[in-house]
Amino acid sequence: MDPFDFEAEAVLFFRQSGKGRSYPLTIRRFERACEAILFAAENLSHFTIKGCSIEIGDIRIDGNDVYDFYRRPDFPLIRLNEGTA
């Protein structure tokens, strides 16, 4: 597995949609990429996440690849279902 800088700044782009209606593009900046990944994986609908992207410098994470980064063993934040020990 290639190393990834979860501490780098990131920008999340997504567009909510539903009931045949399309909403404006939402852009959210995060101080750390891990926070953007966590937000997308835990707060966006499965349908919305398919069309989202996260930009971390020259790296771009698209759609369902967000889940791959969220599930990585080196992901530094506590996931929703992990809780605390």
Q: Where are the domains of the chain?
A: 10-70
Give residue 3's pLDDT: 85
Q: What is the value of pTM for the model shown? A: 0.88
Can you read off the two tokens belonging to residue 75?
Answer: 């992901």
Can you tell me the distance from the alpha carbon of 36 to that of 9, in angstroms, rounded to the nearest whole number?
Answer: 9
pLDDT at 85: 45
Q: Residue 77 carries which side chain, given as an amino acid letter?
A: L
pLDDT score for 1: 64
Instruction: Give every residue of the chain whose pLDDT is below 70, as ranges.
Output: 1, 18, 82-85
CA 33 to chain centre: 8
Please say whether the beta carbons of 48 and 84 come within 8 A.
no
Per-residue pLDDT at 2: 79
The pLDDT assigned to 83 comes to 55
